[in-house]
Structure 1
Amino acid sequence: MKKVNFDIKELLINDPLTFLVGAGCSINSPSSLPAGRAMMDAIIEHVSTKQDCKKLVNLSELRFESLVEIVRDNVDPTLKTIDYYAECDKPNLIHYFLAKMIEKGNFVMTTNFDLLIEHAMINSGIPSKDIRIAITREDFEILKNPKKLYEEGQKTLYKIHGSTKNLLTNESTKASLIATIQAFGSNKQGQNVFQVEPFKRELFDNISKGRTLIVMGYSGSDDFDVVPTLKVLHELKSVIWIDHITSDDSKIYEVEGSGVGSGKKVDQILIDIKDKTNIPHVYKVEMNTSEFAKLVSSSGYSISNVNFNLTPQAWLKENVKVEDESIRFLIPQQIYHDYNLYEDSLRCARQLLKFAKKTRNSTLEVRAMILEGKVLDSSGKHTDAIKIFKNALSQAKSLGNEEWIAAALNNIAIVFNSQTSYSEALNYFKQALQLFESQGSLNEQGIVLRNIGSILKNLNQNSEALDYSLKALRISETLGKLSDKGDLLMIIGMIEVSMGKIEDAIKHFEESLMINDQLHDYDGKMGSLNVLGDLMMKLGDFNQASIYLQNALTISKTIKDSSGEASTLNNLGMLHTKLSNFAEATNFLNQAQKIAKNCGDTIAEANSSANIGLVYYYQGQMDKALKIWENTLKIYEKSGYEFGKANIYINMGDVYYQKQKYKKSSQVLEEALKIGRKSHDLAIQTNSLQKLGMILQDQKDYKGATELYTQSLQICQEIGDLVGIATLTNNLGTIDFYAKNFTSALEKYDEAYNLLTQIGLGNSPLAQTILKNIEHLNQIRK
């Protein structure tokens, strides 16, 4: 950061501005509302034991929205906690300053739940008919163009995280507030507002394009997580973050990116924003926020001489009753678990179980056991977790409580799935799904359907996987979960590729890419581009593959996603291998390997090594390839990565086959086949069987080869692998050719070629090989 000088007052007068306002702006008198952390401490004290209160108030990672969601789920379903903010009707100097900014044509959005900017607008004499407040989804869709509204005489305030009510109309807007808490509490950390509430995107585009954004009232730590959203506002001219200080002195720094700040979290946030956006200028202004507001004339402000004096402790005691002592174990248990503090989480779960037994509350016992099982599973004690979950299931069944039966079944399935025990996981997921369907629990149905679809995809049971995934997709559309829809479209596309439905797959991948672009979900967009690049490689469209992959690489570097960058570099390495640009391929793969090593990702590092082996293989340097794969195999064995081991065995089998070392080739391929059968991975099974068949074919054991090809073909038919079906049908045609059954051979060659043509692979290398077989056969028959 470098210290700079510019006239902020002139900027406030002359520049088109957008303000993003946080809770810090409501701390000063007479508003006197607590800061985010102080409010959190009051909530924690109200809902936990003294022992846990001491620990939780020091949990710096805990975010306000996460805490409020947990409290809502356990003791405050109507969010009376948030109603506290609306009790204050005493705007301070900063609120009046913001009202004046709105009146002058600047734009203001706030994540605050209080109504103080609205009060300031009304008290400043702005006619009520000229004030608009955006709170609900309908509001955001109607009031999406603030510039046009101002030109029509409307002064608009945007409450981007909802509000308890619309002060002008007195309409209750609690539903918007509940939706926001649900969205930000339930979704993964780091998502931007468009990913959880996509209907706000158009407003954000209009409110930021070509303007200076002034961020004030945020500490960057315990506030709502606005940072991911700031990172996607690329049309801004500049960002100015007011970093509040108590003194009257002020300093301005320009953030230069990739560097070290003062150690304050705000500095790192601003460096992050500078690095990961195209915003030309990012500034930090160290200044007292009230002094900043005074840069604009404060005459005419009706500031109260009496301070707001209702404490959050008093409000919570009166309005959020903790009548069941189990709450004081439940809420801390969940917070500890969410923040990976498993020892404390387990203690609270067991205290809850003890309390449930003491009060003879059998349903609470089931809940406590399930919570204990979740902690054990998260701690890596999967066998103990299964045992606890099964005990919970047994008790829930004895109570006839379908809600907790479903919860126990679902948790058992999750553990089995994480351990790749897919058959057991499927069994329990399907039982849970039936109960969720009978209860009408759409959200839970969607999650379980997606899990079942993913398992079936892993088992290469593609037709069934597609059915379940499409059902999950329809639920995501019903619930308006656009981010989930984008993810599911990717899964569906990958299943369709396996089934040879290439056109459908491309359509779904492109739709996923469009959604991720719309949501500014860069991780998702990078994933979509990589998958599309890989598919174009398989289709032989190397130019389009390169475009997709280079775009993915640019994104990974922009957002500094090392894992994504390594994955994309691997794909680029394989693309250049196919193009016989071996030096370029090796360069990409070496970069990928280095990044993976720096990240400590052993498996990713080994994957790059395996691919480097392929580069040598395609150059005919078989011994060098074998040496690399033997070392890679040791890494996979140490990591327990069976899929990686199987692929190495198959690659080694190819080398030994090329060297006509059929015994060694058979040995390693048999090892791959064992892994495929043990893990129920049908793709590995069919690949291994086909290559074992080729060895027998070369040894003129046509009967043995036919048996293996037929087994492999049956698996391909079962999983809907049309390319595999075409390959094996061609192989069986070649067996007929050697047996001089020319008519049968020609029928099989034609069948294989027609199938490839139907799925858009009529020009693929495999199709060209089949055409040569047909041509050769026809010449012999003449």
Structure 2
Amino acid sequence: MDVLTTDLLPEVWPGIFHQLIITNSQYWLDCARSDPAHFAQETPQALRAIGYGLVLPEAWAATRDLIRQLNDLMMRRGQGIEWESYLTQAIARSNQLSDPVEIEFRLYLGNLYRLQGRLPEARTLLQTGLEQCDQYGAREHYWALLNLLAMVMRLDGRQGEARHYCQQVLDATEATIIERAEAYNVKGLVAYDQREWDDALDQLASSLQLYQRLDDPFQIGRVLTNRGSVLQRKGYLDEAASSFTEAMSYFHRAGDQIETYKAVTNLGNVYLMKKDYDQAIRHYQQALPVFQNCHFLVTLAHIYNNLGMAHTRLENWETAKYYFSASIYAWQRTNDRYNLANVLDNLGDMLIKYGQTQSAYDILTQTLDILNQADDSPGIIRLRGVIQNRLTQIETMPSAE
């Protein structure tokens, strides 16, 4: 008599397990495409599917496209630290399979490294991606890579190279509207770095006009944030606050927590300039945990510096020193001599007010050495003059220590 059994031979299980991985990857890909709201609630399961799919060549097609669907969601939720390992594995797997999607994954990871202040790693990823565009004969992401490389160069203090890359994009007849819009945005930021406020506003206006044609709330919010920063530096504080508030509404629409809190930080900057220091501190403290959780080093460095300035104005000397020290530590992990020197100058100024003139003199002398190693720019020249004046001021003061 035959007996029905559910026992399977051991050699059958690997095939069943492989098929489950393929089916699961395809299920979550279909879910991402057909029901984005449900997909967004089931991120842990989708990540688990990617983890299994990355080790199985037969599941690569669905896994690859699932990563593409998930990237923006992970970044806008501030889950970049967790996401990094998946992108690193995806780049390795696509390279093994000679899949040109590697270029796109390099773009994703390069952007994450930029936000984390890991500029040398970002630059290497992006430059390799540009080379691979020629190797694969795939130009789809070439101009986006060039724009992001320009942003990295700008953060690295290499504004001339950044502007050159942006102009290459703008001169390219095959660049898309979104790529042209981003080139104008980065050029606006470079002009901001150079204290060329009117040019910065013109470039950002061109960027905003193009992004508005695409009705992209995330990108519109980014440019409005950058415009607010320029208006703030020009002293148009109410207009700056309005631009930041408008940006927040677009980020809410896009569902982007990270950029929303960048706008909160920028509103804190407006209060700082309005000398409402308690309100500025409240805004910074509201945003700080978000950026600490996702290790966005450059943003953290700016917030720490601004907290130091606010506490200096309130004569909370030790608290101010703590935040300036945190900012200095963050900038030392980048190659940004200007911003490092700027925070050291703020610390030196605070120590003068605190009566610790010898400590201030030592720090400012060190800061001048850092600036003398940097290429001249309007910002560098201005800051060098400020520090030289502070040193002269200390030399004419009686020692208070």
Same fold by TM-score greater than 0.5: yes
Which residue does the alignment assign to 2:331? 716
C-alpha distance 743-677 of structure 1, shift in aligned 2 (>3 A): closer
C-alpha distance 781-406 of structure 1, shift in aligned 2 (>3 A): farther
Which residue does the alignment assign to 2:6? none
Which residue does the alignment assign to 1:604? none
The question of 1:747 aligning with 2:365 is answered yes
The question of 1:760 aligning with 2:377 is answered yes
Report 1:44-63 matches (<5 A): none
Residues of 2 paired with 1:771 and 1:636: CA distance? 42
Residues of 2 paired with 1:523 and 1:501: CA distance? 24
Question: Looking at CA atoms only, which structure, 1 or 2, has the larger radius of gyration?
Answer: 1
The question of 1:448 aligning with 2:108 is answered no
Runs of at least 5 residues in structure 1 that lack an aligned partner in the other structure: 1-356, 587-609, 615-628
Report 1:384-533 matches (<5 A): 384=42, 386-387=44-45, 390-391=48-49, 394=52, 401-404=56-59, 408=63, 411=66, 415=70, 418-420=73-75, 421-439=79-97, 441-515=98-172, 518-519=173-174, 521-533=176-188
Report the AA paired with residue 484 of structure 1.
H
Report the AA paired with residue 750 of structure 1.
L
C-alpha distance 753-442 of structure 1, shift in aligned 2 (>3 A): same
CA contact (8 A) 2:221 2:247 kept: no
C-alpha distance 429-658 of structure 1, shift in aligned 2 (>3 A): same
Q: Alignment identity in percent?
A: 14
The alpha-carbon deviation at position 760 of structure 1 amounts to 2.6
The alpha-carbon deviation at position 726 of structure 1 amounts to 1.6
CA contact (8 A) 1:677 1:685 kept: yes
Give CA-to-partner distance per residue, 1:179-206, whole Å, 9 cap, x none. Answer: xxxxxxxxxxxxxxxxxxxxxxxxxxxx
CA contact (8 A) 1:377 1:385 kept: no
SS class of match (1:758): coil
Report 1:601-612 matches (<5 A): 611-612=241-242
Residues of 1 paired with 2:201 and 2:266: CA distance? 27
The alpha-carbon deviation at position 653 of structure 1 amounts to 6.1
The alpha-carbon deviation at position 613 of structure 1 amounts to 6.2
Residues of 2 paired with 1:396 and 1:522: CA distance? 33
Residues of 2 paired with 1:444 and 1:362: CA distance? 26
Residues of 1 paired with 2:49 and 2:201: CA distance? 53
The alpha-carbon deviation at position 460 of structure 1 amounts to 2.6
C-alpha distance 573-419 of structure 1, shift in aligned 2 (>3 A): closer
C-alpha distance 744-427 of structure 1, shift in aligned 2 (>3 A): same
Residues of 2 paired with 1:393 and 1:540: CA distance? 46
Q: Of 298, 305, 315, which residue of structure 2 is paired with 1:690?
A: 305
Report the AA paired with residue 368 of structure 2.
D
Residues of 2 paired with 1:768 and 1:675: CA distance? 36
The alpha-carbon deviation at position 480 of structure 1 amounts to 3.1
C-alpha distance 745-572 of structure 1, shift in aligned 2 (>3 A): closer
C-alpha distance 505-444 of structure 1, shift in aligned 2 (>3 A): same
Residues of 2 paired with 1:413 and 1:461: CA distance? 22
The alpha-carbon deviation at position 392 of structure 1 amounts to 7.2
Give CA-to-partner distance per residue, 1:123-159, whole Å, 9 cap, x none. Answer: xxxxxxxxxxxxxxxxxxxxxxxxxxxxxxxxxxxxx
CA contact (8 A) 1:490 1:509 kept: yes
Which residue does the alignment assign to 1:241? none
C-alpha distance 474-671 of structure 1, shift in aligned 2 (>3 A): same
Report the AA paired with residue 770 of structure 1.
I
Residues of 1 paired with 2:110 and 2:89: CA distance? 15
CA contact (8 A) 1:736 1:744 kept: no
The alpha-carbon deviation at position 432 of structure 1 amounts to 2.5
C-alpha distance 574-432 of structure 1, shift in aligned 2 (>3 A): closer
The alpha-carbon deviation at position 453 of structure 1 amounts to 0.9
Residues of 1 paired with 2:340 and 2:307: CA distance? 16
Residues of 2 paired with 1:613 and 1:507: CA distance? 28
Residues of 1 paired with 2:334 and 2:305: CA distance? 15
The question of 1:666 aligning with 2:281 is answered yes
Report the AA paired with residue 293 of structure 2.
K
Residues of 2 paired with 1:763 and 1:571: CA distance? 21
Residues of 1 paired with 2:83 and 2:320: CA distance? 35
Residues of 1 paired with 2:188 and 2:348: CA distance? 32
CA contact (8 A) 2:170 2:180 kept: yes
C-alpha distance 375-769 of structure 1, shift in aligned 2 (>3 A): farther
CA contact (8 A) 2:220 2:250 kept: no
Residues of 1 paired with 2:186 and 2:364: CA distance? 35
SS class of match (1:419): helix
CA contact (8 A) 2:301 2:331 kept: yes
Which residue does the alignment assign to 1:537? 192
Residues of 1 paired with 2:198 and 2:52: CA distance? 58
C-alpha distance 766-647 of structure 1, shift in aligned 2 (>3 A): farther
Which residue does the alignment assign to 1:178? none
C-alpha distance 774-752 of structure 1, shift in aligned 2 (>3 A): farther
Coordinate RMSD, CA, aligned = 4.1
Residues of 2 paired with 1:443 and 1:481: CA distance? 7
Report 1:123-162 matches (<5 A): none
C-alpha distance 371-674 of structure 1, shift in aligned 2 (>3 A): same
TM-score (norm. length: structure 1): 0.42
Which residue does the alignment assign to 2:268? 652
CA contact (8 A) 1:416 1:424 kept: no
Residues of 1 paired with 2:88 and 2:340: CA distance? 30
CA contact (8 A) 1:729 1:752 kept: no
Which has a greater percent of strand? 1
C-alpha distance 376-459 of structure 1, shift in aligned 2 (>3 A): farther
The alpha-carbon deviation at position 373 of structure 1 amounts to 0.9
CA contact (8 A) 1:693 1:708 kept: yes
SS class of match (1:500): coil
Which residue does the alignment assign to 1:207? none
C-alpha distance 465-414 of structure 1, shift in aligned 2 (>3 A): farther
Which residue does the alignment assign to 1:78? none
Residues of 2 paired with 1:688 and 1:574: CA distance? 14
Q: Of 23, 37, 40, which residue of structure 2 is paired with 1:382?
A: 40
C-alpha distance 764-566 of structure 1, shift in aligned 2 (>3 A): farther
C-alpha distance 718-377 of structure 1, shift in aligned 2 (>3 A): farther
Report 1:326-365 matches (<5 A): 365=20
C-alpha distance 612-507 of structure 1, shift in aligned 2 (>3 A): same
